[in-house]
């Protein structure tokens, strides 16, 4: 079983991420409430299987970056 890549997502609400997760392979791993970024909104760490999920996050207005740390 291969590990799915993890992305750090900033600028989307939990509701927006839940909506994307309902129609894709997105899995929300945790919400870091204590980290508020200049880009706005809380930081979510998610894992995603493919580029389609990353594209969906980008279209939704989130800022996405690969997470180097594996949880």
Strand duo 63-66 + 27-36: pairing? unpaired
Q: How many CB atoms lie within 10 A of CB 31?
A: 14
- Parse the chain into domains and list their residue ranges: 6-66
Q: What is the predicted pLDDT for the residue at 1?
A: 44
Q: Is 45 helix (H, G, I), strand (E, B) or coil?
A: strand
pLDDT in tens, 23-39: 766 677 666 655 444 34
Mean pLDDT of the chain: 61
- Domain 6-66 class? alpha beta
């Amino acid at each position: 079983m291969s590990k799915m890549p993890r992305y750090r997502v900033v600028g989307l609400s939990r509701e927006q991420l839940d909506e994307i997760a309902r129609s894709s392979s997105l899995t929300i791993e945790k919400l870091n409430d204590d980290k508020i970024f200049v880009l706005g909104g809380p930081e979510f760490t998610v894992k995603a299987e493919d580029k389609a999920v990353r594209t969906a996050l980008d279209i939704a207005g989130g800022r996405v970056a690969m997470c180097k740390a594996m949880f």
